[in-house]
Amino acid sequence: MSPFLLLSVLIGYFLLLITISWIATRKNANNASFFTANRQSSWYLVAFGMIGASVSGISFVSVPGMVQTSQFTYLQMVLGFFVGYLLIAYVLLPLYYRLRLTSIYEFLHQRYGKATYKTGALFFVVAKLVGAASKLYVAILVLQQFLFSQWHVPFYAVVALFVFLIWIYTHRGGIRVLVLTDCIQTLVLLVALVLILKEVYCQLNIAPSVLCEKLLTSTESRVFVFDDWHTSQNFFKQFFSGIFVVVVMTGLDQDMMQKNLTCRSLKEAQRNMLSYGSMFLPVNFLFLVLGFLLLMFAAEYKIALPATGDEILPFVVSSHIGGVSLVLFLLGMVAASFSSADSALTSITTTVFVDLLGIKDIENEGYARKRNWIHIAICVLFFFVVLAFDVIKNKSVLDLIYTIVGYLYGPLLGLYSFALCCNRKVYDRAVPFLALFSPLLCYGLKSLSQSYYSYSFGYELLMINGLITFVGLLIFSKKK
């Protein structure tokens, strides 16, 4: 495949995003539209666009690669995801809409106090910055391997270029533009996934009935694990972890909630959340089927696959299929990764502006210049974090992100759970210390369990982290 053709496709794609941004912001682009889109977004556009922002480019490489080591057991977690979306739709969204929040962490200020408020916002900034940077790193690494390395373009220059492109189409319109560009990026992601599936299936030259039979009978398509409590693939660990992962990564995440809060009403936001949540099972099932087909393809043509699951799809597409599939793979990776990165940069800018700097008057155009400088500073910081990930090359990035979620979002889970369940006054100044103590204790528990009991904590670490924070809040609180 000609590198010039790949580059032309990418240039055309970014020109499309920039054009959409220009059309959306040529009229009525203001400070309020950057943060809330003036609360006029159509729920179905938000729902469709959020699929791409949530799936990310990492799903393109990690989820198909999971089949090699953990079969289809990831679907256990995805089943838990939907229960989490129900909790967000009927517990958290009514709270956020009733308070008419710009940043969801303003709730912590009202419920606890300033120290808790700043702590929650800061934990989100760190977690989102690291998580989004790791996702973008994967996409840029793939592009570097297949495209830019042929022209000897250094990795840091590619990172700088793509962060700059994200800034171009987000700096004026913010969340208002992202609602539209996310829809385009989700469409590109899904079309790429379906066409790659079709291409690999055609290469195998088998009947649909044969494929269905293999999916039903093969050990590689196993979904449920009930008999092994030590493995991280146990159903109960995965299912309940899925519930809480969604609650924290969507319901307690300014990035995802900022889009929901642009809907016209609570009912539309709930409709958006349920529609978007129901799409996760079929989309992830298709990713796993793709992984299954890749293993069949390797067995059929006696191909030695890479040991790391994240490398399987790029390896097969580039070395043994190529052509249109390679273009689709790169375009899908870029679409998914940039859908995640651009909204992360916008939400972090919002959190720094509203929560950490305390600027509540978002309709004041006098603050637009300060907002622009904050956005630029976040982009520069994002650039350096992506570069830092260049040293991480031997671990599943999806697993890394869920590990980060377990440690950094756990205190947020405890804070919100306590606020919704307990009518007690918390000693606000103790909360920052609790929020730091809880992840450290979880890390110690994980290390001890592996060393002395051969028990491996999986994603359930998030629940334990939240529980420790909850108990700590009970200790450092009193009756109102």
Per-residue pLDDT tens over the stretch 402-436: 567 668 888 999 999 999 999 899 999 999 999 99
Number of Cβ within a 10 Å radius of residue 98: 9
Does the structure show a pLDDT above 60 at 471?
yes
Q: For residues 232-250, give the mean pLDDT.
A: 86
* Per-residue confidence (pLDDT) for residue 85, from 0 to 100: 94
Asked if residue 52 is part of any domain, the answer here is yes
pTM score, two decimals?
A: 0.85
Best mean pLDDT range from 145-149, 425-429, 442-446: 425-429
336 pLDDT exceeds 70? Answer: yes
What was the pLDDT predicted at 32?
Answer: 73
Residue for token pair 């949530």: 54
The owner of tokens 């989100």 is 124
CATH number at residue 203: 1.20.1730.10
**Residue that the structure tokens 């919100």 belong to:** 416
pLDDT at residue 107, as a whole number: 93
Mean pLDDT of the chain: 85
Mean pLDDT over 120-139 rounds to: 86
pLDDT digits (tens, 9 = 90+) for 340-393: 788 888 899 999 999 999 888 877 777 888 889 999 999 999 999 888 887 765
* Residue 394 scores a pLDDT above 50: no
- The reply to whether 407 falls in a domain is no
Q: Highest mean pLDDT range out of 182-191, 284-293, 338-347, 448-457?
A: 284-293
Is residue 179 situated within a structural domain?
yes
Q: Is residue 457 part of a domain?
A: no
Q: Could you tell me the residue range of the domain that residue 97 belongs to?
A: 3-396
CB 334 within 8 A of CB 143: yes
**How far is Cα 453 from Cα 81, in angstroms, rounded to an integer?**
29
Q: Which of 169, 129, 192, 184 is closest to 24 using CA atoms?
A: 169
Does some domain include residue 108? yes
Is 240 a member of any domain? yes
State residue 9's pLDDT score. Answer: 83
Q: Average of pLDDT values for 12-32?
A: 80
Residue 89 reports pLDDT greater than 60? yes
Q: Where are the alpha helices (DSSP H) in 147-207?
A: 155-170, 175-204
pLDDT tops 60 at residue 395: no
Quote the number of domains for the chain: 1
The pLDDT, as a whole number, for residue 456 is: 66
d(CA 194, CA 201): 11
- Answer whether residue 456 is part of any domain: no
Residue 76 has pLDDT above 70, yes or no: yes
- Which pLDDT value is given to residue 397? 55
pLDDT at 116 over 90: yes
Lowest mean pLDDT among 24-33, 172-181, 366-375: 24-33
pLDDT value at position 58?
65
**What is residue 405's predicted lDDT score, i.e. its pLDDT?**
65
Q: What is the pLDDT of residue 205?
A: 84
Most distant CA pair in the chain: distance in Å? 69
Query: 374 in a domain, yes or no?
Result: yes
pLDDT at 399: 60
User: How confident is residue 468, by pLDDT bands cut at 50, 70 and 90?
Assistant: very high
CB atoms within 10 A of CB 278: 13
Cβ contact 418:105 at 8 Å: no
pLDDT beyond 60 at 232: yes
Give the position of tokens 């556009």: 45
Q: Which of 94-98, 421-425, 458-462 is the least confident region?
A: 458-462
Name the one residue in this structure whose structure tokens are 């992100």: 401
* Nearest C-alpha neighbor of 243 from the set 434, 111, 90, 83: 83
Lowest mean pLDDT among 21-35, 185-199, 369-383: 21-35
User: What pLDDT, on the 0 to 100 scale, is given for residue 182?
Assistant: 83
Task: Report pLDDT for 148.
Answer: 85
Interatomic CA distance for residues 175 and 38, integer angstroms: 10
